[in-house]
Amino acid sequence: MAKLKLRTGALMPSEVEGFSVQMQKQWARDFALPFPVWPHQSWFNLDLIEVKDKHCRR
């Protein structure tokens, strides 16, 4: 992942260490949860603009 970001210029060589630490923390959080944290399949049928309008008004 870091190699791709380096090749595309999205990451500077000086940022690799910080990026690696950040990704390790994210993966530890995402994959250590005792329950799935993915959207329910039915969520993909919702109209995005309608959902955003509804929730942004609060």
Residue-level pLDDT at 34: 65
Dmax over CA atoms of the chain, in Å, equals 42
Q: What is the pLDDT of residues 5-14, one digit of tens each?
A: 999 999 999 9
Instruction: Please state, in angstroms and as integers, the Cα–Cα distance from residue 51 to each residue in 5, 25, 37, 40, 44, following that order.
Output: 32, 30, 19, 15, 11
Which pLDDT tens digit goes with each residue over 40-52?
A: 777 777 787 877 7
Q: 9-40, pLDDT tens digit by residue?
A: 999 999 999 999 999 988 887 777 666 667 67
